[in-house]
Structures are given as structure tokens and as C-alpha cells.
Amino acid sequence: MHVLIIGAAGMIGAKLTQRLIKDGTVAGKPIDALTLVDVVAPTAPKGAEFKIRTEAADLSTPGVAERVVADKPDLIFHLAAIVSGEAEADFDKGYRVNLDGTRYLFDAIRKIGGGYKPRIVFTSSIAVFGAPFPDAIHDEFFETPLTSYGTQKAIGELILADYTRRGFFDGIGIRLPTICVRPGKPNKAASGFFSNIIREPLAGHEAVLPVSEDVRHWHASPRSAIGFLIHAAGIDGEKVGPRRTLTMPGVAATVGEQIAALRKVAGDNVVARIKRQLDPVIVKIVAGWPRNFKPERSVALGFKAEKDFEEIIRIHIEDELGGTFVK
């Protein structure tokens, strides 16, 4: 099994790489080779029992995708994307990377032909949905994104399905929940606070909560996200049928429930590090975001997320903090 990860230098890409090295197999087959591609060449991790090659490649440049898939990987994770905020700020770049780059990749695979038909796992996003929503977004709810990023992801889903239907490859799209608790430094993404208010207090730092406690959102841990990717790599495409992109399971939690879970896991002192400071801009942005889903298809197909937000916090402490935190 030759595996290619595009967008391997990001948080998800790096964790997926680690998981593949640890497992040594994917989709029920041993891994022979792993190629890691990103705009800046990813660092090749140590300890793998298979060959790892890293490559700097910008798929939004015409011709680059052909080179990247020339050695016909059996399994391709396409994680590369300009994130929501940047795709909104830089219109051309968002369409170039998220739409053209994806299409160049899909076309490069198509043009190889000769029976080459890799599994492609494409990460979409709940940003394909735009308010107003039903209480829980079901599997047949329409996609009316309110950002250019969401638009580009929705287009990626459509092309993935059509190219799969035409037999050019075997694509599975997965709509990731907001990943929480996202490790690393606080960032300026509007969604950053969902992770900040857990990660920073557990590390002994203050965090700002810019919205009210009744804001509800859809979360899954980084560990679950990697689990979704691995499961999507091995899933039977026949069982998925022509509707190739699935909303992943997750935990619907209000900010109040997040804080209650933090209190239960880590105590009052930790919770006291959350400072409330309403930010009208973030309040407004978040009001347009999905709050809850009913992802029956992905659950039936065996995708699994956490059962509650407490579990999400415990996973963060286990995976990122070595099992401990600042009391």
C-alpha cells in the first residue's frame, strides 16, 4: 500500500502520519511507502517501518498535481486547504487552492487512466451548511454555504462524487466537525475560543470567552478526526453509494456544557481562568454556524466520535498533556 498525504504539514496531517507509522497498516493492508506533501516540505518523522518521502508541492500550480500522483499511490488523503478566514480575506487564493487545486489533483488522477483507481479521502467541512438550520442538521439537508471556504468545499464534494461515479477514482468525503481541543497556540480563527477555553486553562493560562454560554456547536477530538480518516480509507465504497460525502459524528455541546465538563474533569480553579469578554464580531459570525447534527449515515457506516464533551477533554489531557494539567 502506497499512501499519499496532501497537506501533510498541518495538525491533522501530522497526526495522521503518526497514526499510520504506529499502525503500519491501513485499510487492512500493510503500508510500503508514505509520501508527505505540503506547500512547505513536511519533516519526515522517524520510526516508520516503511519508506517515507517528503515533497514540497503547491497543487494550485498547474502541472504540479501530475507530478505528485505520477507514481500512482493506492490511497490519497487530500487534506490541503486554505482555511476559512484566509479564503474569505484572499478571494483569489481561496478559489485557486481550494477549488482549482482540488480539481487539478482529481484531473491528474483521471488522466493516468489504465485502470488506476485510487481511494481518495477528501476532508470537507460543516462550513458547507449555512444558517438558518433545523435544530439538528440531517443527512439530506441542503448546502448553502455562507463563506467562500464553505462554497469551495461544497464544490469539492460535488466533483468528488461525479468523478467517483464516472469511475475515475473511488472518493470518500468527510465533513469534519470543529476539531476540539485543537493543540498549539491560541489562534485568531473565529472558532478558536472553543479550544482556547479548554486548552489554556488546563495549561495554567487565562482564556477569553467571547460569546455567551448558550452558544452550541459541533465538536470532535483530533483523535476522532484521525479515526474518521482511517475509517474512510478502508470503508466499502459500494455501501456508501453515489452520495460520497458524509457528515461525521460529533458532540453537540453548548459553551456552558463545555465549561461544566471542564469543571468536572479539572475543578473550579481551572474554570476560573476563563474570562468572559463578549466580542460582537465573533458573536455575529458564530450565529451563522451549525449547532447540531443527526449524522445517521456515517454512524451506520461505523464512524465514531466521543460520547460527550468530558471525553473530549480527557482525550486532550491524555494525548497532548501527558495525562496531567495545571490545577
Q: Which stretch binds a copy of itself (CB under 8 A): 137-145, 214-222, 251-259, 313-321?
A: 137-145
Helix (H) or strand (E) holding 286: helix 280-287
Measured from the CB of residue 88, what is the shortest distance to a copy of itself in angstroms? 9
Q: For strand 33-38 and strand 51-56, is the pairing parallel, antiparallel, or unpaired?
A: parallel
Q: How far apart are CA 196 and CA 108, in angstroms?
A: 39
Among 13, 101, 118, 145, binds a copy of itself (CB under 8 A): 145
> Nearest Cα to 147, choosing from 189, 179, 185, 102?
189
Q: For strand 251-254 and strand 274-276, is the pairing parallel, antiparallel, or unpaired?
A: unpaired
82 interacts with a copy of itself by CB under 8 A: no
Binding mask 34-53 toward a copy of itself (x if CB under 8 A, else -) reads --------------------
165 interacts with a copy of itself by CB under 8 A: yes
91 CB neighbour count, 10 Å cutoff: 10
Number of residues near a copy of itself (by CB under 8 A): 21
**Planar angle of CA 123, 124, 125, nearest 5 degrees:** 125
148 interacts with a copy of itself by CB under 8 A: yes
Measured from the CB of residue 233, what is the shortest distance to a copy of itself in angstroms? 22
Contacts of 162 (CB under 8 A, 6+ apart): none
Measured from the CB of residue 159, what is the shortest distance to a copy of itself in angstroms? 7
| Residue 95 appears among annotated catalytic residues | no
Measured from the CB of residue 215, what is the shortest distance to a copy of itself in angstroms? 21
Hey, which residues between 238 and 297 contact a copy of itself (CB under 8 A)? 242-243
Active-site annotation holder among 95, 104, 116, 149: 149
List, as one string, the DSSP characters of 19-76.
HHHHH-EETTEE--EEEEEESSPPPPPS--SSEEEEEE--TTSTTHHHHHTTT--SEE
Residues that bind a copy of itself (CB under 8 A): 91, 130, 140-146, 148, 151, 154-155, 158-159, 161-162, 165-166, 242-243
